[in-house]
């Protein structure tokens, strides 16, 4: 069985990430593999064994299990996302987010999101190549667009929804404009 270096590198980075190895250390381990394979011409699978097994050997640490800290991070991320999205929607619609006014939901969401993101950035440091200083596992270019689109989608949907709600069903014109039109008083029938 053989594997190309690109596949092996990707599998090894993933296996080391799952073991919560710091990015700089991952870069060292991957660069050692690449340098050795370049020197010997060996297949990385033959020289180092399966990526998951080598990740265990190279770090000497077991794969950490999910704990309360991970659950807390997941709950915090979910709550922050819900509060931020709800707050933004609330600003558009004027509706409260549960018991909170929209601005309070936004502030609370930001207060939870900032330390959560800071923690995630610290634990998921970039995988730097010690030979060049380059990021060995950069995010694909489409990821920021996907994230931005995912965040923007509820706002666009809310804006469209608001426009539909405020549209006059008979004429199709925005209802807010219709309301501004002065209503004609019904003509009184002239007495014969």
* Site residues, another protein (CB under 8 A): 28-29, 31-40, 42, 46-49, 54, 57-58, 60, 130-132
Q: Taking the complex as a whole, how short is the minimal distance between the CB of residue 7 and another protein, in angstroms? A: 16
How far apart are alpha carbons 100 and 83 in whole angstroms?
A: 10
Q: Taking the complex as a whole, how short is the minimal distance between the CB of residue 34 and another protein, in angstroms? A: 6
Q: Taking the complex as a whole, how short is the minimal distance between the CB of residue 6 and another protein, in angstroms? A: 14
How far apart are alpha carbons 175 and 166 in whole angstroms?
A: 5
Count other Cβ atoms within 10 Å, centred on residue 108. Answer: 17
How far apart are alpha carbons 105 and 178 in whole angstroms?
A: 33
Q: Taking the complex as a whole, how short is the minimal distance between the CB of residue 18 and another protein, in angstroms? A: 18
Structure tokens at 43: 């297949």
Residue number with CB closer to another protein (43 or 161): 43
Residue number with CB closer to another protein (55 or 83): 55
Instruction: With H, G, I as helix, E, B as strand and everything else as coil, classify residue 23.
Output: helix
Residue number with CB closer to another protein (60 or 192): 60
């Amino acid at each position: 069985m053989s594997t190309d270096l690109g596949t092996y590198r990707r599998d090894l980075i993933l296996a080391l990430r799952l073991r919560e190895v710091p990015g700089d250390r991952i870069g060292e381990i991957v660069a050692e593999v690449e340098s050795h394979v370049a020197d010997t011409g060996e297949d990385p699978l033959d020289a180092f064994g399966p990526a998951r097994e080598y990740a265990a050997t190279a770090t000497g640490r077991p794969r950490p299990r999910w704990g309360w800290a991970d659950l807390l991070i997941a709950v915090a991320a979910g709550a922050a996302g819900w509060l931020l999205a709800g707050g933004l929607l609330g600003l558009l619609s004027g509706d409260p987010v549960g018991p909170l006014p929209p601005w309070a939901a936004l502030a609370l969401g930001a207060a939870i999101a900032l330390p959560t993101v800071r923690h995630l950035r610290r634990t998921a440091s970039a995988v730097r190549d010690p030979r060049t200083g380059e990021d060995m596992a950069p995010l694909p270019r489409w990821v920021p667009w996907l994230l931005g689109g995912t965040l923007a989608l509820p706002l666009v949907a809310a804006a469209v929804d608001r426009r539909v709600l405020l549209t006059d069903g008979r004429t199709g014109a925005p209802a807010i404009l219709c309301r501004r039109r002065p209503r004609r008083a019904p003509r009184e029938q002239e007495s014969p």
